[in-house]
Structures are given as C-alpha cells and as structure tokens.
Chain A
Amino acid sequence: MLEVNNLTLRFGALLANNDVSLKVPERSLIGLIGPNGAGKTTLFNCVSGVYTPNQGTVKLNGIDLVGKQPYQIHQLGIARTYQIINLFSDMTVIENVLVGIHDSLKATFFDSMFHSKKHQQEELAAHDKALELLEFVGLESKANNRAGSLAYGEQRLLEIVRALVSDPKLLLLDEPAAGMNSKEKTDLDRIVKRIMNRWDLSILMVEHDMDLVMGISEYIYVLNYGKLLAEGTPDEIQKNPVVIEAYLGGDL
C-alpha cells in the first residue's frame, strides 16, 4: 500500500535519509527502529508531507505523495502522531478529536454559520464518534478537560485517537510509548492490537521500546545514519549481528 523508493533527503551536507526504500502492505504492522538520529522521524516527515525529499518517490496505493502538503496527504488517508506531543493543548480533549475528523465533515462555511440541519446532524454524529473512540482508549471521562491538563501517557493516547478518528488507511505512530510507564505501555500494546483487529488499516511505527516493537510488529526495518541497515521479521532482526553492533557499538 505505502511504497517508499530510494528516498533521499539532505539538510545541507547532512544526509538525513539516504536511499531508503520500504513497503507497508495492506493490514500490516511494520516497525521502524534505529538509534537516535538515525532519520526515523525525518522519514515520517517525508511521508506525511512536512519535508519534500530531494530524491525518490513516496506512493500510497499508486498515488504520488511527493510535493503534496501535509493536509492533502491527511485527506488521502495517512494520519500520524508526533514524537514530541503536538496537541492543541488549550482546546478540550473532545475538540482535539473533532479537529482530527475535520476533513471528513462536509458542512460548508455557510452551513456552519447558519447552523443548518445538515450541519447539526453531522456535528452530533461526529461527537458520538469522537466519544466512542475516546471510550476505546479509556479517556471518555476526560472528554471536556483541557488537553494540556492530561497526564503524559494520556496525551499520547489522545494523539492516537485524534489520528484514528479520520479513518486513515495508514497510521504513522512516532514513538507512541515514549515517556510511558510500564502499565501504560501494556495498555498501549493492547490498544494497538485492538486497533489492528477493528480497523482496516496498516500501521507504521517508530519505537524505541524493544519489547513493544518486537512483540507486535510483523516486519521491521532498521535505520542507521539515514541508511537502511537491515530488514526482516522480529526474530531475524534480533539475531542480526549488524543490528546488534549498531545498537551496542562494535568491537566489544
């Protein structure tokens, strides 16, 4: 479904991504790992339109994504979360989710202004959907709290809900477990599995927590210094000497 081919992105002399190719098939959960600064988030930013790669192609079901704006890519069905929490912190929890649903709502400007029937029905349906998804991750009791007032782990879950609510074809999770305690991590693991069961989507996940990423990924890509270092199933990756060296340092 998502195909990245020979993607290269330079920041001046620095090669942030160097000739990276990867594939995310339908209904799969793909992991993307690598040491800090390996270019994982940069790759996400290329896929979601924040950066335009210097070379290479990014395609979603055959549609070229290079050069499209982030909002257009979102409308094509790729939703993401952020490594550094990027919520609308002064809006309420449910408003955050409703922003995520923005482009599937059809009410026009004048519908909104004159509070038309169409607009009202759509808003009610959107509210129900948002609430249901918040219930799915256990945040429904905090729907009217300020998003910025949530605990760290809850903010991460809210980011996932905000991305999920638009019914994406591909969900990009950028370190969803960062800063979570072990209980929250177990919950996250369960939630990701339930997402895979319930929605017809694929997930591409950057994660540093090896237990989590090895436990749920079907296939894993390893990046190092912007280059693809290895790929394979979790078992293959764990045994791969090159990967072990990159993580632990060579010559031990």
Chain B
Amino acid sequence: MEKNKLLQNYKKYLVYLPLVLLALFFPFLLKNFSYGLMFLCFCEMYIIAVNGLDLVYGYSGQITFATAAFFGLGSYGSLLLRNHTGLPVIVCMLLAAVITCIIGMILAYPVSKLRFAFLSLSTISFNHVVFQLATRSPGGITGDYTGAFTDSLTLFGIDFGNYTYFYYFGLACVVIFVILKFNLVRSRVGRAFLAIKQNTAAADGMGINVRKYKVYAFGIYAFYAAFAGTMYAHFVGYVSPETIAQQQSVIFMIMILLGGVTSNWGPIIGAVTVLLLKEVLGYAEQYQLLAYGIILLIFILFLPTGLYGLGKDLIENKKHKKGSLSDVRS
C-alpha cells in the first residue's frame, strides 16, 4: 500500500519531466538568440520574487506593495557588500538576503497588526522610504539617481556573467526556492498561513500565534524578493533606483494575480506572462500602465484564481465530462 502510494507519487512528478528537459535545453534552443536567453534569466529572478509574494499574499493573505523595496534592498545590499568588503559574490548575495529578511521581519512586527488598506498603505510608504534612501544615500554610496556598478557572480572559478551559465545558476535557484515553498505550504506552517488568511479569529482560537506567523511570512517573502534582487544586481552588474520604484511593486502584484495565487505554477506563469507582455508592449511604453490596469481589473473581477486557476478548471471540467459519460455507458 505504502509502496504503491510512493510509486504513484513518482508518477505524478513524471509529468513534469518534459518540462524539466525543456528548461535544461533552452540555452541550446536559443543558441543564436541571446536576447531570448537574457529574457529567461530575468524570468528566473522574477519567478523567485513572485513565489515569495505568493507566500505572504496568496497564503497568509497580507496585501503588500513593498516587493520592489525588498528586491532593491537585496540588490543594493549585495552590491554594497561586494564593493566595500570584497567578500565572494555568493556570500554577499546570501548575506544581503538574510539581512533583508531580518528587516522584513522587523517591519512586519508592527505592520502585522494592520489589515487591508492600512497594511498596503504602510508597505507602500516603506517602499518609498527605501526609494528615498537609495536616491539620497549618505555619502552617495548607492550612486543616488545614477545607480552603481558591481561585479558578476563567480563560483568555483566559473564566471556567471555568461548568459548560458547564469541561466543554469538561476534555474537551480528557482528549483530550490520552489521546492522549499512547496514543502512549507504542505506543512503546519503552510496550514497556519492559510488558516490566518481565511479566518483570523478561528486561527487564533485554534492555537495559532497569528502575529508570529505573519512575521514569519513577511520574513520569507523578504528573503525571496531580496535573493531575486541580488541575482539581478550581479547579472546586470548595475543597479539603479528604478528597480525600487513603486510601480515595480505593482508589477509584482500583477504577476501573482495574473498567474494565480496559492499554487506552484501560478507565480511562474504570472512572472513569465507579464515579462512577455512588457516586451510586447515595450513599443507603446506610455500605454503599459493602462494595459496593466485593465488586465488587473479583469482578473480581479472575473478570474480571481488567475491563469493557473482558469487552466485547472478547464482541465477538470473536461475530465468531469468524460467521467460522467463513461458512468452513463456502464
């Protein structure tokens, strides 16, 4: 019985094999199209950040518009650490992510008492604080409005400034972060997040320390966003305040809403779709925000489960119809 279950589990994951192979072969498919490969590298960073956002917004139900701030704290943090201490880049990346995680938890402690609009407003103001800090830094260490340069990632003597190498590094990161999230949401912590989102009073009554778990959720969210930010810094080699602009936080939110909350595929679908849209709409930059606004409205009103939820419903409906037909026949 147990063994059968295990086998079934493996079979379930076997479905993803073609996808994994495809992901591994992308650099070969895009050999003569380096822009496409660069695009995929950006996708990887955004997928990680949006997964963090899914934990805090999708699972624990806290609406936050500070993703860009944490992303920026990660990228500037890693950049500053690298440029001023000269530690290996990977160490700077992890350190910056951990520091941002702590900042996120400190922010969450008072903020977790707030709800709905008040919570989002306070995260928006946090985003502004970080933006102001980056553009008017003490001694100009962040390069203010012009931004600052830093080195690319080097690991075991391999320079990850190369798109192909960075793509594989990013892919490994995505897999790790997605698996960690997947584990977390299936555990007591994930159930606590969902319980808090659905019914805070009942969660409290069932022995869940609501505040503690809200702070946890914010901490991981900050870690995910910040790590994505450090990847950005050392991939591009340059960070400008644009990455922390409020508008960026909104774009992260659009990604998660478009892809679908509380799922493994939602953040991936959302991040890739929005980045593709950005490429397509790049020619009509002034209409970008307008387009996002309309898309957001449509999804909130008609497709609250996002593209992932839509796809799942379609597949399940098909199965259901098939099932009922065979029932009739037998």
The residues of B that contact A71 with a CB separation of less than 8 Å are 204-210
Contact between chains at B187 and A69 (CB < 8 Å): no
The residues of A that contact B205 with a CB separation of less than 8 Å are 48, 50, 70-71, 74, 80, 82, 86
Cβ-based interface call for A15 (8 A): no
How far is the CB of B309 from the nearest CB of chain A, in Å? Answer: 12
Contact between chains at B206 and A99 (CB < 8 Å): yes
Q: How far is the CA of A55 from the CA of B97 in the complex (A)?
A: 48
A-B contact pairs, 29 of them (CB 8 A): A50-B201, A69-B204, A69-B209, A71-B207, A71-B208, A71-B210, A75-B207, A82-B205, A86-B205, A88-B202, A89-B198, A90-B194, A90-B198, A91-B191, A98-B188, A99-B192, A99-B208, A100-B207, A102-B188, A102-B207, A102-B208, A103-B208, A109-B189, A112-B187, A112-B190, A113-B187, A114-B180, A123-B188, A166-B207
The residues of A that contact B188 with a CB separation of less than 8 Å are 98, 102, 105, 107, 112, 123
Cβ-based interface call for A193 (8 A): no
Most buried by B among A88, A89, A114: A88
A interface bracket (residues with beta carbon within 8 Å of B): 20 to 34
Whose C-beta in chain B lies nearest to the C-beta of A80? B205
B interface bracket (residues with beta carbon within 8 Å of A): 20 to 34
The residues of B that contact A48 with a CB separation of less than 8 Å are 205
Chain A residues proximal to chain B, CB less than 8 Å: 48, 50, 69-71, 74-75, 79-80, 82, 86-91, 95, 98-100, 102-103, 105, 107, 109, 111-115, 119, 123, 162, 166
How far is the CB of B61 from the nearest CB of chain A, in Å? Answer: 11
The residues of A that contact B199 with a CB separation of less than 8 Å are 86-89
Given known contacts A74-B206, A103-B208, A86 and B192 CB-to-CB distance under 8 angstroms: no
Q: How far is the CA of A203 from the CA of B209 in the complex (A)?
A: 24
The residues of B that contact A74 with a CB separation of less than 8 Å are 205-207
The residues of B that contact A99 with a CB separation of less than 8 Å are 191-192, 195, 203, 206, 208
Q: Which of A86, A98, A109 contacts B216 (CB 8 A)?
A: A109
Whose C-beta in chain A lies nearest to the C-beta of B204? A70
Q: Which of A111, A119, A162 contacts B206 (CB 8 A)?
A: A162
Interface string of B203-236 (1 = CB under 8 A from A): 1111111100000100000000000000000000
The residues of A that contact B184 with a CB separation of less than 8 Å are 112-113
The residues of B that contact A162 with a CB separation of less than 8 Å are 206
